[in-house]
Structure 1
Amino acid sequence: MTRGQLAEVIAQLCGDKNAQPIHVTKRVMRMLHAQLSILQEKTGGQVAVPAIGVTTQRKSSPFRHDRITQLAALRTVTDRFVLDLVERPKVGVEEAAGRLLFAAIIFGGLVFKPLLVALPKALNNTLFGARGLLWLDLELEEGAACPRRWFPDPVTQCLILNWQKAGHAWPIATNSPTTTARLVAKTLAAFGCSGRETQLSWLIDANLVRLRIEMPALLVDFLESPQRGQSLPARAWWRLLCNYHLSASHGDGAERQREPVPGDDFPARTNVSPGTADDQHVLRLLSKALTPTGSARNLKPAAAVRALNALRAQANAGILAGLLIDWSAWIISGTDRRRLRPSSVRRYLSALAAPLLASAGELDPRDESVDELGSRYEQTLASIRNPLQRQMASIALQHFHQFLTLGYDVPPVVIDGVVTGIQQVNANTLSDSEYARIRTLIDQSNLRGRSKRMLRVMCTFLYRLGLRRNELAWLRLADIQSDPGDKRPLLWVHTHPKSSLKTQSSLRRLALGHLMPADERRELWAWKAIRLRELGAHPPHDALLFCEQGADTQRVSDHEIDILVTLA
């Protein structure tokens, strides 16, 4: 009897028309397992019961067809907003408030509703400015630690300054998601929008699709979450939003200039050397700050954060030890999934802090390369002999590096040993600026000329043609069905004896003349000429387009493709 037949029989025996067969089957299976275990102990026999299938959760893709169609409507709404802003610079208080909320969503990236609701209060209480910067500290709860330091974009900055100059008071005494949505809808209706385009939820969803196309995925995940941190400064944010980038020929000197950061957010640089008695003493004080005193079983998060802030101000900690203190306070005072209890942070630090200081205590993670950080992280985990402690340290290291990424713009690093329980959709798309940045990094790398050419063409295929890794690695020279002089060059992506696509019988014909600019097509023809010279007068029919030198039928290693993914 199959599992489905068994479920139907049990549902009929149950007599409950509303009962779901799979749930009844699970209950009966657990009962059978218990009874058969008793029988096995008494008789020594072995009985097998079929297991119930486990359903793996899968998040819906942010690029579904119904969401992509929102982009054109969002662009129309944005154009109408800008035109109305120019034609009617002075409006009433309610419409001015709605304009400010609309600009904060569309141009400022404020797409988490509770933070949007907290914006009116922040305009009066936590609006700051220094050294040409303007920022707001948005609070989700009264008296709670500031979860988000938000730097408004230039458009929203102008609206905020005009609001302050006019001396307006927020038109609604008690702000809520409903009143916020009503203000936005009234403002959009004033310049001709109607229907779903005036709904706050639709506006946020459509803007999230646009941001996921233009922005790095890690940044968008941060924007639509309640976790603590700070947004990008206005200049860096506007450059990403407007797709401003430098070409590969001009280098990346301008992109290395960092924005000024207000206040004393960054740990002070000290002359304390790593692994010394000072750092060891700081670790002991850090563990003590996270330990409950007296008869209390657990330490309250607010008390732990106060103790950590006091320790940070008084202790003579090195750079990395100071960052560990800041991370502890950040993750304890976080919200939702990003918050840990003080006892959990203490256990993580007991597994990670000492090995990390021993391996990388002299480094400043904010100034090191991705390869250097990855190497030091590997040394840290390799120095921990206990497998349970090593697993705990790898999880803590992931949380710690995420703090560095969100708070100090440190590039992401792949940490071995960290596994997630929910299957995630890989929706990491590249924007124009990121694509140009990757090509710049390839040109500035220490690779040989042939490897640089190959990586540039591979990067073009990934970005312009949307190929998967397996499709890219197994492309053959014969799949390019044209010569440099043809006006309609084609690329065929199909299954062949050495490789199969995701769908066995699929076949795609890509028009390179429409998908690739002329300069990138010239790079492709130059690379194809190099491969033909390497193969000689009689190239084999299965010669690959991308391969290591001297290995004409052996695909490029995953490391070569992972270089592009890491750069992205």
Structure 2
Amino acid sequence: MESDRGGRAMSEQSIWAGWKLSPPIQAGADGEASRRYQRARDKFKELSSALDQIESRIPGAATGQLGLDFPERAISDAFESLHTITSPQKLRQQHNFLVKGLERGARELDWKVSIPSPMVTLPRKSPQVTTDSFSQLHSWDTAVNSHDQLLPPISLHQDELKTWLAGRFLFQLVREGALLNKEWLKQVPIAMVDGIAFEKDTAYLTLKKEHHAVKNNSRNKITQASVAFNDLPDNSLEYEQQHQYRRLFLSPISQLLLLNYHQQCGRNWPVPDSAIECLLYYTQRLSRELAKVKLPALLTIAKTSASLELLPLFNYYSSQEDSSLSLPPSVWHRFTNRQVVSFKPIKTAEEDETLHTFNVFPDRDGAYPDQLKQLRKLQACLSVSLAKKTGKAKVIANIGSLLAKTEQNGVMITLLANWCIALIRKGGRVKSRLTISTISTYLSNIAKPLIIHEHMMGELEVTSVGEWEKLYETVLNASKSSASRIRTQNRLRDFHHYLTSAYAIPPIELEADQQQQHRVDVNIITPAEYCRAIEMIISSEQDRPFKIMQILALILGYRLGLRRSECASLLIHDIAYLTDQTGISGEVIVRANSFHSGKSYSATRRLPLWLLMPEEREFLIDWVQERRNQAMTRTADKQLLFCRDGEGSSLLEDSMLFRPIQIALKTVSGDKSLRYHHLRHSFISFTLLRLLESKPNALLESTWSTDDNGHIAMPNEDVDLSKLAGLPPQHRPSRKRLWLLALWAGHASPDETLSSYSHLLDWALGKLLSQRFDVPLTTHQQLVLLKIPSKTALTSWRNRRGLQNPTRASDLLKHLQNQWCEFNISPLIKAPYKPYHAPIQNPLDTILKKSSNFPAVTVIYQCLRLIEQLEHHGMTLEEAIAQSAKRFFLNPEDLSRWQKCGKYLMSTKTFRNNPVFSRYKDIEQRDHNASRSIYMPELNSCMAPPLKPNVLREAGKFFHILTEWCPQHVVAAEAGTQYFFYSMQRSTGHITLPHAEAINAVLGLLRPLRCMKHTYLLVEIKEGSKKKSIKKYWSDATGIPHKRIDLVPTSSPSGRTRYWYGNAHLKITRGHYSDNQQPLWEAFRFAVFMTMLVYGFNVGSNDL
């Protein structure tokens, strides 16, 4: 076959083998062989046509040329053209053919290409109601009518009677639509044995099943139920996390049937029958037409019947296994009783992080050999058979030997190998011990795509959260199925957790994938806990701006359901409101920007501010106004809402925004598993209840909506939420409510919103069933339910209790409460509960490591600039300092001292009469520049900050580290700044220092910044010197390794040096010291200057 590609022909034999596209060969002449050959030939032509789309835009791709660079536009056009001309039946095959070929090219031929995600076809869900199920409703209605009459069984012995009574109760659950799922039906016997509980006079059973559990025989589970609960581990909360729960609220009729069963059979189940066998046994004796119906068909008919009576939402919930999972018992107890779990304060992960000595990222030195081959060597070290023979210590030694060959290992393979060692020694996030085979599986899940896409990452020390998220999203997109994506996502979460703890990279949130089948993250924050967390943040000793931003982030997460990344990347102009029209509440606009790309297209949305409490809305608007006043540029509205003062283009670190919130939430609830993302679960769960209410407080109880002082803590508590949102009033049905909630949550449809984020649908369904199945009871029904032998005895029983006709099921239950005592549930968790009391010492003051007593480095600069601006416009120095201190909430005395120190340092001259900290000789120009709208110019009292946001952000980090380090190392700090003093005017990190002592003094400033690996020595030597001896001398004297010591001939005219070991120059750079861009030097230089300014280093008392 020949095809024209850009004017040149290419034969079939010239196609690169990596495309896995070879022309078919006809094996025989018979009819079957000919047809097989023709089908293969047609497929070959189709795939060749798809390959033509790539080849026509990037010549050489089909033949497999090395090192091709694929423009993103060309790849996008090729796939778009393929999707346009290809039939839907063939599209998936051709699309994935190109994706796999490009992956092989990137791996084997060093292609630089952005590879699209493979296409995955998901199975179509069958409809809930079918024509066939409608046709069987007649027999179903007949059985239901017979069941409702509560006819007594005929000629049954004791064991059969137990089975029949259990089946009658189960049939009532199915008949009501309370439980229409096979897997949850199997759990009812265990829940009945455990006992019943009550909430607001409504009884419920707690069903539970293990995550990812093997479908064992239900009979074994029943006999072992009590043992499982009696043998709970000490940490009951961890035990809960291994199970899924569904809270089954019972209607009055169901409660009476359950009580009737317990009174006749006790608190046990008719062993060896399972729930399914009991249900089918009762159904067979109830109706001949349903005698041969299997359980799936029976549940299908029940779903059809329930669809005519229940909202589709409740019908879907009842029939699904993993939809809207109920709150675990401990969370439910917190929610309904306002109590917290009492546990001993232990050293948390947050504390560990502050005490951890972080590692340094491995160097990235040019090109490496095939990294996939290195990966295979790493996997060989984790061989299970080898581990069984030699043990874990030998496996660690083998990995260490692999890491010792640094010239062969890239950054990613080094990080993966160190991760494996950490897993062997310390275990994972969940299990403290992992087998070698498990670790090998963990590695195989993520290692290959991480290594392939390693080129996406720059310098890891300064890599942002967004870049990590982009890398992980690319890795996840390579998954071929939803199950594979879930496994990969979990392993990426483990891997990043290790990097966070070992290398101090910023943490990220990998949100649960919408195809995830087992949702384990079920938790909410109660309104009372929300108020407690705000009070804890307010009472902490943090700086005022940080407390305000943390409170607002907590408000936006709890009231509006914002994700972490969405909250952190909000810009000032994303808060839209009108100050002169209070009747218009305004809105929060969640959209992509330069800091955040958005989880999906549906993540772009508008959220009304009336979802906040009035005082919360005012609090938010006041902060927006304050941020506008702080910004000193014309693009103030495009700056971040949450950032350090003066750093409007740099995201605030998670440790200062989200980590304090999580510490507060864990403390006020006693639940150490709570995270910021659970605020989103809370918003959706509570808002769904409000939208489903027929009147205020019909579902969301008023007692649940208050804080510890009894004050209402939920917005719009007595208002029709549907009417506020522009929907039909509460008493009118509308499916738009679910779509509105999905829109507010940023989901493409209500499916994900309801499945993963709402955890109170069990309560809503129970309230509905309590109203629908609280019917008047006939005399016969009362005799059966109360187990009273005659009508005369029933009349006497009713008269003693003052019951009148008609008598409903709920009326009987009011007088039977004392009979539930022996059937009440035992505590599901062995954890001591107690009322909440604020801790004596605020954990935010003890766990959080206070960053510094000084404000952000850019705040100090902006204050000094404002002083000079005000002076330029005629204000006195004292008035300017007072005005600047008031605007930025600083101490005027501190600001005055900094201004004097800065002015002295900026006026200092070198021995050649040049300014030490300035590159400008015209110093008089500074006043003019400070008053103009120039971005961060040089001042009379401060050097110009770095212009690039990432460099400025790094300078801020260095400044805070140095200001924390200096008080404990005053002598070393003064020595380092003294030697560094006269080298700061240089534009590159090339410092000439007199001797090794001076070099070590400057290195002392770099050590706490973890920048030692970015230091080099350039040693000038005379001709004929012993190079090895010279390198050894300088390495021993400074601690810089031999490979970062370069020897060059001296530039002296005599060709000699004063000492045999030469003259050393210190280079500080990330990359090569000859590069034009020196971001590390700019950040370090500015940070050291600001440290000298605030501490007054090299400034005498007479100079102030």
Sort the TM-score into its range (normalised by shorter chain). 0.3 to 0.5
Bigger relative CO (Cα 8 Å, ≥ 6 apart):
1
Query: Under a length normalisation based on structure 1, what TM-score does the superposition of the two structures give?
Result: 0.44
